[in-house]
């Protein structure tokens, strides 16, 4: 819900926000921290095995909060384990700050991981957990203590340093896991779906907490998630993975506003997909409305038009139907859901297809909106993306 | 799980049956231990309290020699069985590979063979490989039938083990050795200890295998006791049998303690 | 993770080899011995292959070398089988209510009862059977207790009878039955029974159609753990059944002891193992059929 609202408002001043993002990245210098070139991973025999990753190229910048987003089974966890050195890629190279690390074992890589299960050592206290990586690196004495204390303060767990993980709440365990992974001062911090075990409220809190920690340490974060809302809220940039391939890389705003293909259009945010006929090379017809669009395609082809629910306008006023007929799709309200700031309508178009429209509650205040009401649904041509029709829509 | 308060869930008379059940389990043990403190020469008529018979046990050289043998065999067999189980259990728990089920089944197979069958098998095997019955043969045979018991707690401990802990250790710059010593072993320890204890108890208790595989100088306590029982019911036998039972009780309580501690502590959540 | 199959097998090799040698070795030795014949001075004559031991299970040559039926094995087998089945059944009847009662107790009591069952479970079998001699023998504890109520009562004379053996077997193996059933009962979700009751099933029907089927894994495991050692029991019939070696375990031991016919003893052991494997296969088949039927119903 939040994301949709944010996305919607940002689309108004698209240009401005891009500048802000670029500037904030620019402050830390745009040097490439983590570079992946042609990384492949195949499980089983090379010819017939399961291809978990196919030719992954990525450049992740220094100090960036970068997300790897994709549905389960898309290869994001394999990629993370390869970055951590817990698995080896079948082909391709990975370098950190221009140093190739393909043959560096996990216990020598300047990369630390926050595991999905947190993987806190249950037989050590919080303090010993955080010190573990430092002790491995032969840091001792006051250096060790200072660093652990610094980390405890960073994640606000100074009071709980002598507790065992079993005595902590999920959110606290999460903080320990982050502190433990950050303590050895890694160049890159990997986070594996680490918020998924928390309940919704705590997750929101931890999101801003993660963001704060990342900003204050300046460490490059690579965050793996299947939750697009989370990825959008947290990331400077993100890569969307599907079936082992990187499908699109960009800022959340870019990806939200210009999904590279239908998969991403459907995966990121809510999207209406409307089947329609192409009348000419740039003209489609849907539910009695003719639209001239920016895309070009074969006349007579069957295409799918994608538009965000918040980009639709709805005219409830029957009297103006004449005027609207040139610029609106005819439909009937089927269902109304009021969720506070947003009024969501499901609308059946005259050709039988269904749409979801989201209106700001204050924009429709005082209007009488009832199921079975005939309406006209309007859409801006610039908000439309068009994809070739695939089976099943 | 949920503790029922619903009356209908109770089986009528179940608590009385449970009471009778425990009386049945403990009555004979209590009678045995009680009579072992009887001062009277006749084994079953109570006349007065006495520690005499226990005193005599400590002066019985044959019994002490048997006890020494029992301890040597139980310690060696339990250690070997634990080691054999541990080496394989970690690999089996962590990996998926063809034949995994078969290898896993191998470790519980001895449970399916009656003691008497394994006992004569052990005797035949020992003779076939040119060994004569004795301590070494005892250790070999005891190790075999102790394996499933050592394996049980170790496997239970590994079930639900968070293997990401090993990844986390490696990720935090620990070498394989350090991961082993600092993470895997401490977390496995309660299972290892429980497995060892269980194997130790089972080895100490064994009669039939020892009966066939022990040689003249290497009989264990149960074999010695069996010889005495054959001669008749005496206060000495009462005392030895009671002592054995009491040792078992202590060991079992110890095992229970280790085991319940291991299940309470060391779970991340 | 990431370990090749070859490496996995290599790391398993020492343990697997140890079991193969220490456990499978003796089993193979029995098989081998069962196909030899008795050496003139006892022991084994390895020089030629023979099925004499197996023939002897059912028949033996008389003075003139003519095979006549031999009922030694068959009668011991029948006695062992019937005693084991009765033992298993009685253990089951006692264990199910006790296990359910335990699973319904509070956490503390449950743990205490569990400890109380485990103690005799691991207490020495010989000592526990010996305790029953003290109880059952003439003028023993049982007679004493009965006389204290009815002074003129005759001696029970239970020791050295089949009843004494039955009591001893039940006493020896009862914990083996309770523990697995308890493990199943503890996992049982009592709300399922509530649901069945709510749907109008009688208490009896709930017990038979909901509770028992869900306890089945425990019941099967427990029955196996009681049946197998009962079939091979030696100590109990030896101590409580008197001098008569009338169960399979005793018959086997006798062949390796006083009778000195190892080939025959090994053959009996193989027959015992075969009957146990047959019983296991049967149980496996039954429980599999059952779960298939359940799937079909669902």
Q: What is the pLDDT of residues A257-267, one digit of tens each?
A: 888 888 898 88
Residue (of B255, B244, B144) closest to B196 by Cα position: B255
Nearest CA in chain C to A88: C2
Q: Considering only CA atoms, which of C159, C122, C146 is closest in space to residue C240? A: C159
Q: What is the pTM of this model?
A: 0.80
Compute the half-sphere exposure of residue A331: CA atoms within 13 Å on the CB side of its CA: 28
pLDDT confidence of C181, banded at 50, 70, 90? very high
> What are the backbone dihedrals phi and psi of residue A39, each rounded to the nearest 5 degrees, phi first?
-75, 125
pLDDT at C3: 57
Q: How does residue B8 score in pLDDT terms, banded at 50, 70 and 90?
A: low
Look at residue A321 and tell me whether its pLDDT is greater than 80. Answer: no
- Are the CB atoms for C136 and C142 separated by under 8 Å? yes
Largest interatomic CA distance in chain A: 82
Chain pair A-B, CB pairs under 8 angstroms:
80
- Give, in words, the CATH class of B53-265: mainly alpha
Which partners does chain B have (≥3 C-beta pairs < 8 Å)?
Answer: A, C
Per domain, the residue ranges of chain B are 3-35, 53-265
Average pLDDT over residues A211-238: 92
Supply the mean pLDDT for chain C: 86
Q: Which residue of A has its CA nearest to B172?
A: A133
Judged against a pLDDT cut of 70, whether residue B41 lies above it is answered with no
The SS3 call for residue B219 is: coil
Token pair of A167 as six digits = 């005595």
pLDDT exceeds cutoff 90 at C37? no
- Contacts with B, C 209-268, CB within 8 Å: 224-225, 228-229, 231-235, 239, 248-249, 252-253, 256, 262, 265-266
Percentage of residues of chain A with pLDDT beyond 90: 42
> Which of these, A261, A245, A243, lies nearest to A55 by C-alpha position?
A245
Chains that touch A (3 or more CB pairs under 8 A): B, C
- Give which of A127, A118, A176 is closest to A148, Cα–Cα: A127
Q: What is the pLDDT of residues A91-132, one digit of tens each?
A: 999 999 889 999 888 888 899 999 988 999 999 999 999 999
Q: Does B181 lie at the interface with A, CB-CB under 8 angstroms? A: no
Question: What mean pLDDT do residues A352-376 have?
Answer: 86
- pLDDT of amino acid C298: 42
Could you tell me which residue, A20 or A208, shows the higher pLDDT?
A208
pLDDT tens figures, A34-66: 999 999 999 877 777 888 999 999 999 999 999
The residue of chain A nearest to residue C5, with distances taken between CA atoms, is A44
Cα Rg of chain C, angstroms: 24
Among A241-245, B264-268, C127-131, the minimum mean pLDDT is found in: B264-268
Give the per-residue pLDDT at A127.
95
Reduced to 3 states (helix: H, G, I; strand: E, B; else coil), residue B240 is helix
Question: Regarding predicted confidence, which is higher, C248 or A366?
Answer: C248
> Please, which residues have CB within 8 angstroms of residue C123's CB and are 6 or more apart in sequence?
B29, B205, B244, B245, B248, B249, B252
pLDDT at A253 over 80: yes
Domains of chain C by residue range: 71-260
Beta carbons of A225 and A65 less than 8 angstroms apart: no
Find, in chain B, the residue whose alpha carbon is nearest to that of C141.
Answer: B44
Percent of chain C with pLDDT over 90: 43
Q: What is the pLDDT of residue B43?
A: 54
Task: Report the alpha-carbon distance of residue A67 to residue A235 in Å, rounded.
Answer: 6
Give the pLDDT score at C219: 93
One CATH from 3.40.1520.20, 3.40.50.11690, 3.30.420.10, 1.10.3720.10 for C71-260: 1.10.3720.10
Q: Do B92 and C12 touch (CB under 8 A)?
A: yes
Measured CA to CA in angstroms, residue C235 lies from B145, C245, C266 at distances of: 18, 11, 19
Q: What pLDDT is recorded for position B206?
A: 93
Of the candidates C5, C22, C273, which has its C-beta nearest B140's C-beta? C22
State how far residue C1 is from chain A, nearest Cα, in angstroms. Answer: 8
Is C1 close to A87, i.e. CB distance below 8 A? yes
Instruction: Verify whether the Cβ–Cβ distance C273 to B117 is below 8 Å.
Output: yes
DSSP class of residue C153 equals: P
C116 reaches B (C-beta below 8 A) = yes
pLDDT > 70 fraction of chain A, expressed in percent and rounded: 89
Pull the structure tokens for residue A185.
Answer: 């001062």
pLDDT, tens digit (0-9, with 9 covering 90-100), for A210-223? 999 999 999 999 99
Q: How many CB atoms lie within 10 A of CB C279?
A: 18
Helices B115-128, C25-34: axis angle to 10 degrees equals: 80
A322 confidence band (pLDDT: 50, 70, 90): very low
Q: Are A226 and A267 in contact (CB under 8 A)?
A: no
pLDDT at res. B146: 95
Chains with 3 or more CB pairs closer than 8 angstroms to C? Answer: A, B
Judging contacts by C-beta atoms under 8 Å, the chain B residues touching residue C111 are: 260
Q: For C125-143, what is the mean pLDDT?
A: 89
By the CB < 8 Å criterion, does B195 face chain C? no
pLDDT digits (tens, 9 = 90+) for A183-193: 999 999 999 98
Higher per-residue confidence, B120 vs A19: B120
pLDDT at B45: 66
Confidence of residue A323 (pLDDT cuts 50, 70, 90): very low
Q: The complex's ipTM?
A: 0.89
- Assigned token pair, A143: 């250096």
At B80 the pLDDT is 97
Task: Name the least confident of B71-75, C8-12, C138-142.
Answer: C138-142
Q: How confident is the model at residue A280 (pLDDT cuts 50, 70, 90)?
A: confident
In this predicted model, which residue has the larger pLDDT, B46 or C138?
A: C138
Sign of CA dihedral B42, B43, B49, B54: positive
Contact B28 C131 (CB under 8 A): yes
Query: Does B180 reach chain C within 8 Å, measured CB to CB?
Result: no
Q: How far off is chain A from C9, nearest CA to CA, in Å?
A: 17
The pLDDT assigned to C260 comes to: 81
What is the C-alpha to C-alpha distance for residues C103 and C186, in angstroms, rounded to an integer? 5
Which chain A residues are within 8 Å of B268, Cβ to Cβ?
117-120, 122, 165-166, 173
| Interchain CB distance below 8 Å, C8 and B95 | yes
pLDDT at A1: 33
Q: Is the pLDDT of residue B42 over 70?
A: no
Contact C121 B11 (CB under 8 A): no
State residue A5's pLDDT score: 37
Using only C-alpha atoms, what is the Rg of chain A? 25
Which pLDDT score is estimated for A371?
Answer: 86
pLDDT of residue A107: 85
pLDDT at residue C30, as a whole number? 95
Q: To which residue do tokens 């060790």 refer?
A: A144
Find, among B170, B147, B40, the residue nearest to B83 by Cα: B147
B168-172, C28-32, C58-62 — which is least confidently predicted? C58-62
Task: Give residue B261's pLDDT.
Answer: 67
Quick one: closest CA in B to A179, which residue? B172
pLDDT range class, residue A314, cuts 50, 70, 90: confident
Q: What is the mean pLDDT of residues C167-171?
A: 95
Q: What is the mean pLDDT of residues B136-152?
A: 95
Cβ of C61 under 8 Å from any chain B Cβ?
A: no
**Mean pLDDT over residues C201-205, rounded?**
79
What mean pLDDT value characterizes chain B? 86
CA distances from B197 to A278, B109, B147, B194 (A): 78, 20, 12, 5
- On the question of pLDDT at B72 being above 80, the answer is yes
DSSP tag of A341: S
Give the Cα separation of C91 and C105 in Å (integer): 21
Does the pLDDT value for residue A25 go beyond 50? no
- Reading the block at residue B68, the tokens are 């020494």
Q: Are residues B169 and A184, on separate chains, in Cβ contact within 8 Å?
A: no
pLDDT of A140 over the 50 cut: yes
């Amino acid at each position: 819900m939040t994301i949709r609202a944010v996305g919607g408002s940002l689309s108004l001043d698209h240009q401005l926000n891009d500048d802000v993002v670029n500037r904030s990245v620019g402050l830390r210098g745009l040097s490439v921290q983590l570079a992946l070139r042609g990384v492949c991973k195949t499980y089983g025999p090379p010819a017939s095995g399961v291809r978990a990753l196919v030719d992954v190229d990525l450049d992740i910048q220094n100090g960036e909060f970068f997300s790897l987003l994709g549905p389960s089974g898309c290869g994001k966890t394999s990629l993370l384990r390869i970055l951590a050195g817990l698995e080896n890629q079948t082909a391709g190279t990975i370098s950190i700050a221009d140093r190739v690390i393909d043959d560096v074992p996990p216990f020598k890589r300047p990369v630390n991981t926050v595991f999905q299960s947190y993987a806190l050592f249950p037989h050590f206290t919080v303090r010993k957990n955080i010190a573990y990586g430092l002790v491995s690196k032969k840091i001792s004495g006051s250096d060790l203590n200072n660093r652990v204390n610094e980390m405890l303060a960073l994640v606000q767990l100074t009071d709980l340093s002598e507790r065992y993980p079993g005595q902590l709440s999920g959110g606290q365990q999460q903080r320990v896991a982050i502190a433990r992974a950050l303590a050895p001062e890694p160049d890159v911090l990997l986070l594996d779906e680490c918020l998924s075990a928390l309940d919704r409220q705590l997750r929101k809190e931890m999101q801003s907490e993660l963001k704060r920690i990342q900003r204050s340490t300046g460490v490059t974060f690579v965050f793996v998630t299947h939750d697009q809302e989370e990825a959008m809220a947290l990331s400077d940039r993100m890569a969307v993975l599907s079936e082992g391939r990187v499908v699109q890389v960009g800022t959340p705003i870019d990806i939200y506003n210009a999904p590279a293909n239908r998969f991403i259009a459907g995966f990121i945010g809510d999207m209406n997909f409307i089947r329609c006929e192409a009348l000419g090379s740039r003209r489609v017809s849907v539910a009695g409305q003719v639209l001239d669009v920016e895309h070009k395609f074969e006349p007579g082809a069957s295409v799918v038009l994608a538009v965000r629910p918040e980009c639709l306008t709805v005219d409830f006023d029957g009297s103006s139907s004449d005027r609207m007929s040139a610029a609106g799709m005819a439909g009937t309200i089927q269902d109304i859901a009021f969720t506070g700031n947003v009024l969501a309508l499901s609308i059946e178009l005259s050709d039988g297809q269904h749409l979801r429209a989201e209106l700001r509650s204050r924009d429709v205040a005082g209007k009488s909106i009832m199921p079975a009401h005939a309406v006209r649904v309007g859409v801006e041509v610039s908000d439309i993306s068009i994809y070739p029709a695939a089976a099943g829509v | 799980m949920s503790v029922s308060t619903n009356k209908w869930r109770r089986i009528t008379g179940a608590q009385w049956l449970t009471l009778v059940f425990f009386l049945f389990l403990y009555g004979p043990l209590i009678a045995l231990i009680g009579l072992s403190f009887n001062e009277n020469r006749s084994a079953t008529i109570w006349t007065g309290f006495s520690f005499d018979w226990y005193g005599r046990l400590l002066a019985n050289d044959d019994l002490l020699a048997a006890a020494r043998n029992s301890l040597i065999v139980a310690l060696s067999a339990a250690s070997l069985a634990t080691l054999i189980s541990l080496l394989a259990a970690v690999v089996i728990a962590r990996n998926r590979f063809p034949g995994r089920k078969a290898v896993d089944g191998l470790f519980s197979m001895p449970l399916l063979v009656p003691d008497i069958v394994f006992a004569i098998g052990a005797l035949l095997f020992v003779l076939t490989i040119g060994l004569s019955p004795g301590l070494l043969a005892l250790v070999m045979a005891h190790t075999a039938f102790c394996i499933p018991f050592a394996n049980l707690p170790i496997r239970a401990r590994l079930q639900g083990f968070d293997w990401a802990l090993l990844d986390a250790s490696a990720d935090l710059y620990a070498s394989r050795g350090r991961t082993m010593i600092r993470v895997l072993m401490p977390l496995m320890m309660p299972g290892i200890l429980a497995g060892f204890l269980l194997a130790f108890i089972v080895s100490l208790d064994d009669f039939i295998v020892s009966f066939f595989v022990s040689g003249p100088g290497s009989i264990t306590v149960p074999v010695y006791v069996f010889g005495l029982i054959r001669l008749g019911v005496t206060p000495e036998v009462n005392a030895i049998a009671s002592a054995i039972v009491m040792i078992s009780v202590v060991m079992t309580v110890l095992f229970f303690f280790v085991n319940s501690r291991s299940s309470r502590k060391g779970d991340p959540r | 993770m990431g370990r090749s199959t070859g490496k996995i097998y290599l790391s398993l090799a020492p343990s697997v080899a140890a079991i193969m040698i220490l456990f499978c070795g003796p089993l193979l030795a029995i098989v081998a011995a069962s196909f030899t014949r008795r050496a003139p001075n006892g022991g084994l004559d390895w020089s030629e292959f023979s099925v004499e031991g197996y023939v002897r299970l059912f028949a033996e040559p008389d003075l003139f070398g003519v095979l006549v039926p031999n009922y030694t094995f068959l009668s011991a087998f029948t006695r062992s089988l019937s005693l084991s089945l009765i033992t298993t059944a009685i253990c089951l009847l006692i264990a199910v209510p006790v296990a359910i009662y335990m699973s319904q107790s509070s956490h503390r009591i449950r743990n205490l009862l569990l400890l109380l069952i485990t103690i005799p479970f691991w207490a020495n079998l010989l000592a526990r059977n010996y305790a029953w001699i003290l109880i059952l023998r003439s003028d023993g504890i049982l007679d004493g207790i009965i006389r204290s109520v009815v002074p003129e009562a005759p001696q029970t004379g239970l020791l050295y009878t089949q009843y004494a053996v039955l009591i001893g077997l039940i006493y020896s193996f009862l914990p083996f039955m309770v523990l697995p059933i308890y493990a199943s009962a503890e996992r049982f979700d009592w709300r399922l029974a509530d649901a069945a009751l709510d749907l109008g099933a009688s208490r009896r029907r709930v017990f038979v159609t909901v509770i028992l089927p869900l306890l089945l894994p425990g019941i099967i495991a427990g029955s196996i753990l009681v049946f197998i050692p009962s079939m091979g029991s030696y100590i109990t019939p030896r101590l409580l059944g008197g001098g008569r070696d009338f169960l399979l375990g005793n018959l086997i031991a006798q062949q390796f002891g006083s009778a000195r016919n190892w080939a025959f003893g090994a053959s009996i052991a193989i027959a015992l193992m075969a009957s146990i494997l047959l019983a296991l296969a049967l149980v496996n088949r039954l429980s599999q059929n059952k779960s298939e039927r359940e799937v079909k119903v669902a």
